Amino acid sequence: MILTLEGFTLPSGYYIKELTTMKENGTGYQHFHFNAPDNFQPTPSDHCTIDYTTRHLNQLTLCDDSLLPYSTIEIILQNLASHTIYVAGHSAYNFIKNYLPFTSIINISSTLDFKYPPTLDSVPCFKAHRPRYCSLAKARCIKNFLHGYSL
């Protein structure tokens, strides 16, 4: 199972705004968008980082009551605990490992020397934003990369 994330990296942790789950063969995926955690109290420095990231990178807003509650992330991930999970990057690896400490999680950035290309193909995301900062575009990129490996 491929898991990709997009969100905000802050001193207090990595906050997810998008999560995509995709089968390695690409036959199915789910793409989720989340509101901020209920107890999140951003500092002035956090606000600066969030504002910059929203304007210049992922174009995702931290708070949006129309999105899934942040607590849903745990439910989604617990349902994937029996799978081997492929992620790219230390932030994604650490975030998922925090929720699934006993699950086999493979960081293809360190094990297969994977790097996201500077640009990714556009995908049908729920939010209008750059594909380079879309978890669905990232999942498709990883799927294409893994296609060359026998898993």
Closest CA to 57 of 18, 97, 113: 18
What domains sit in the chain, N to C, each tagged with a CATH number?
Answer: 2-146 (3.30.420)
The mean per-residue pLDDT over the stretch 94-115 comes to: 96
Q: Are 142 and 151 in contact (CB under 8 A)?
A: no
The mean per-residue pLDDT over the stretch 109-119 comes to: 93
pLDDT at 109 over 60: yes
54: which 2 tokens?
A: 């929203």
pLDDT one-digit tens code per residue, 37-85? 888 888 898 888 888 888 877 777 777 777 899 999 999 999 999 999 9
pTM: 0.88
Per-residue confidence (pLDDT) for residue 92, from 0 to 100: 94
pLDDT at 128 over 70: no
**Could you give the CA distance from residue 150 to residue 33 in angstroms, rounded to a whole number?**
31
**Could you give the CA distance from residue 40 to residue 119 in angstroms, rounded to a whole number?**
32
The mean per-residue pLDDT over the stretch 136-142 comes to: 93
